[in-house]
Structures are given as structure tokens and as C-alpha cells.
Amino acid sequence: MSLALSLTRYRRLIMLLMVIALVLIAVEMTGLREQLSVSFLREQLEANPVSGAIVFIVVFVVGNLIQLPGWIFLVAAILALGTVMGGMVTYMAAVTSCLVTFALVRGLGGNALREINNPWAKKILARLDTHPVRSVTVLRMLFQTMPALNYTLALSGVPLRPYVIGTLLGLPFPITLYCLFFDRILLLLPIG
């Protein structure tokens, strides 16, 4: 296969990689990367819960796009808002982040994984097609908002509705477990 044909075939994936690179560069050049910390997020949430929650959600979305782990956001929310409210705000941010990532990646990359001519990949996609809601729910329970999962599901061709339902159903269980875990850890640490 010639280079020109390869580039044409994978142009959507190349565009997606370029956009992700631009987001990373923008985050780095604006200094936002230094602001993505538990203390910054906690300050935002404590200063004003409404505007802080909006900032929290936006930062969670950007953080998810640039591969930051979600536990940073959850810890900040628990410290600022308590276990229950922190968990709820994190759930809203996680769902929003998954949906924004899905829309962005699907819009740029389309169903690129469907073009892979590999029997193993085709078998996985067939299973996803057979039980999309169950598959997304289980994947969310296991991998939560992991950026690689978001990108893979968006590029897999799974329809939006099963993606949304599976995300809504799959995230509460792990977020609740993490909330309880971090709540217990924070009780043992002298963090004020």
C-alpha cells in the first residue's frame, strides 16, 4: 500500500491525533497543566460551589482528554464537598467528560476501528454490536473514564444511545467505591 493511500485511509485518525496534540500543547502553553492539582480544584469548589462545579467539570473534561487520572478530581471533590456531594459532582463531571470525548473523537475519527481488517478485532466489535449497553456498562465498571476506553468506544462505531446508557449505568458503582475508599483514607490523613 502506498504512503498516499495509507494517509488517505487514515486521515480521520491523523486529524484526531493532531487535535489531541493541539489540546496538549494549549494546556502546556497556557500553564493550565500546573493548575490541574487537587489543591486548585478544591479551592475552586470551596470558593463557590456552583461556579466551582462548572470549572471542575471543564477541567475534568480537559484532564480526561490529556490522559489525567480521574482520582485526582474525585479526591478534590471529596475534600471540598464531602463524600456524597463530591461523588455526585464527580459523577456529573465523569459523564460529561465521557460524552464530550465521545463526540470529539467520533466526530474526528469516525468508526475507524471498523476499518481494521483483523479477525480478533472483528470478533470484539461483533460482541460489542450484540450487547452494546451491557458491554459499555461492564467496561465503565472496570475502567471508569479511562481515556483509552473513551477513545476506543468512540472509534468502535457503538451508537450514541447505548454508549450514554452504558456510561450512566456503569459509572456509579466504581465512583461510589472510590468515594468510600478515599473517604476512609482521608480520615486517616491529617489533611484539613
Q: Is the pLDDT of residue 85 over 60?
A: yes
Q: Give me the mean pLDDT over the 149-161 stretch.
A: 93
- Does the pLDDT of residue 126 top 70, yes or no? yes
Query: Would you state the pLDDT for residue 185?
Result: 86
- Cell numbers for 182: 478515599
From the CB of residue 184, how many other CB atoms can be counted at a distance below 10 Å? Answer: 10
Please report, rounded to a whole number, the percentage of residues in the chain having pLDDT higher than 70: 91
pLDDT band at 8 (very low <50, low <70, confident <90, very high): low
Annotate 39-98 with three-state secondary structure: HHHHHHHHHCHHHHHHHHHHHHHHHHHCCCCCHHHHHHHHHHHCHHHHHHHHHHHHHHHH
How many other β-carbons are positioned within 10 Å of the β-carbon of residue 17? 13
Per-residue DSSP letter, 111: T
Question: pLDDT band at residue 73, thresholds of 50, 70 and 90?
Answer: confident
Cβ neighbours for 105, distance < 8 A, ≥ 6 positions apart: 16, 150, 151, 154, 155
Question: Which of 170, 175, 183 has its CA nearest to residue 71?
Answer: 175
